[in-house]
Chains A and B, each alone.
Chain A
Amino acid sequence: MRIACVIPARGGSTRFPNKPLADICGKPMVQWVWEHCSEVTLFERILVATDSDEIASSVKKFGGEFILTPKCETATERLYQVSCSVEADIYVMVNGDEPMILGKDIVKCIPDELPSDGFYVSNLMTKFKDPVQVVDPTNLKVVTNKNGECLFISRSPIPFPKGSMDFEYNKFVGVAAYSKKALDFYHNTEKGEIEIIEENDSFRFIENGIKCIYINADCSSISVDTPKDLDAVSKVLGRNSV
């Protein structure tokens, strides 16, 4: 299996401009992500996919490979754009705002082999440890069926503990794996009603009844959506590198 790793990193987040270049303990965030991806030996290539020259030159500076993509509405769409010029059986997406995910966790989304129909979508999740994070609507909560197929993802805390408290909340982690067929499906399919409301790429599949496996990576993850997240991540990564 040929596996390519893609780090989508867009320049123009309105809430947090040039987020991938935000400094974490002396290195831009995208470099942290790239270094963690480099720990994985299975990857044939690791590419930062960006629409920003500034991000591209930063990647070049730390010795990474980048690919310029047009402006894309979602990260998965950016991955599709890459898949049109870079050949692979599996495309692993590591979001540019997940600087804490390590290589040993990233590989957990990769299947042993491609299913016979050539269609594969998986995503990582982890248990929430901090109750505050469950309530924070920037963190996505995931529920799956007993086979690990995603049922729903929401910014609302799901499930609701009425009958039992014996439950752990699953947190969405921005690491996913797609086969080329899955990326083609994504690109050729319109957004559904719930995807429009909740804004999560997995809905393109699950709203169309296509299974999307969510794998518990049991890892620490803080996705950087706001400057407050950046502070939290800097504390952890700064501590680890001492």
Chain B
Amino acid sequence: MKVIGVIPSRYGSSRFPGKPLADICGKPMVWWVFKRAMDVKRFDEIYVATDDERVADCCDSFSIPYIMTSKDHINGTERVAEVAERIVADVYITLQGDEPLIEPRNVNMLIDVMLNEPDVDCVTLKTAYRDPVDVINGTTPKVVSDLKGNVMLFTRSPVPYPKAAIGYTIYKPMGLYGFRREALIQYLNLCIGPIEKAEDIELLRFIENGIKVRIIETESKTIAVDTPKDLEKVRMIISRGERETKT
């Protein structure tokens, strides 16, 4: 089974321009993501998928393979789907360009599902919310799944609502996805439904079109870099890690 890792990487958002090139201990963030992706050791190939010359130039200078993709994609999954159209593999794993603290164990969980369960078209991970503020925060997504481990809904509202019981966990969906090639290519042709539009959560495209998304629970300490403050946290963690490997 050929497995490709794809790092979708735009130049940045209005909140954080140039994000993939932000410096972490002397190297750009995208370099760290690529390096950690290499540590997974199960990818046949790894590509950065971008729509921006500056990101492409940066990849060139560090000999990171990249693919120039359309500027019209509205989310990372569309960008990864374009990669799937152009480069043939069995399975594609999306690694977020703004999450440099990739945990190989979690990536391996996704690859194992794709290896062992041929019926699964798309797989992702969830982790328990620990901080109540994160649950109420309308920017953080939540996920609920059925008894077979398939996603019922991704939403930014706190679900489930504790009417009759309170002993449960609220889950956060993670930004790691595994796709089979046919599913990814199909993604580009699926209609964007009202719930995806409202929530702005990319895997809802499958859910609203009746395609199952498998989800597995895991532990994670990854940090998505959305703000310069997040970047500072990531810098500290990486520089600590680097010091430990040197000594």
Contact = CB atoms under 8 A, between A and B. Distances in A.
Question: Taking chain A's interface residues, is the majority helix, strand, or loop, or is none over half, making it mixed?
Answer: loop
B148 interface: yes
Contact of B207 (A137, A145, A156, A207): A145
| Chain B: number of interface residues, binned into ranges | 35 or more
A117 interface: no
Interface in B11-46: none
B159 interface: yes
A162 B204 CA distance: 14
B199 A197 contact: no
Contact of A152 (B139, B159, B193, B196): B159
Contacts, number: 117
A163 B199 CA distance: 6
A159 B155 contact: yes
B147 A162 contact: no
A160 B146 CA distance: 20
B210 interface: yes
Contacts of B210: 145-147, 149
Nearest to B151: A151
B164 interface: yes
A184 interface: no
A207 B159 CA distance: 14
Contacts of B196: 163
B195 A208 contact: no
B146 A206 contact: yes
B100 to A, nearest CB: 25
A158 B155 contact: yes
B164 A197 contact: yes
Interface string A163-183: 111110000000000000000
Interface residues of A, number: 33
A207 B146 contact: yes
Contact of A209 (B146, B164, B165, B191): B146
A151 B152 contact: yes
Contacts of B191: 146
A218 interface: no
A37 to B, nearest CB: 28
A64 interface: no
Given A154-B157, A156-B159, A197-B162, A167 B147 contact: no
B182 to A, nearest CB: 19
Contact of A162 (B150, B156, B207, B208): B156
Contacts of A232: none
A28 interface: no
A162 B199 CA distance: 5
